[in-house]
Amino acid sequence: MEAYDQITEIVDKMKIDVEKARAGNNNAGVRVRKSAMEISKLTNVLRQQTLAKMKE
């Protein structure tokens, strides 16, 4: 599932920005929120892919 791979890649990249945001870096916080929105969209795609596989 392509969406799953994309989600895990984003989460891996996000870990560094989360730590920076906790330390008070505002720009890192913006990147974390942007990544979270991307993940949200991709979870919908993943759900659709999963349902399509089940129907096959």
Residue 38 in 3-state DSSP? helix
Contact 6, 42 (CB under 8 A): yes
The separation between the first and the last C-alpha atoms of the chain, rounded to the nearest angstrom, is 15
All structural domains of the chain with their residue ranges: 2-55
Q: What is the pLDDT of residue 56?
A: 86
Other C-beta atoms within 10 Å of 17: how many?
Answer: 19
| d(C-alpha 47, C-alpha 28), whole Å | 28
Query: 1-56 pLDDT, tens per residue?
Result: 789 999 999 999 999 999 999 999 999 999 999 999 999 999 999 999 999 999 98
> What distance in Å separates the CA atoms of residue 48 and residue 29, rounded to the nearest whole number?
29
Gap between the Cα atoms of 39 and 44, Å rounded = 9
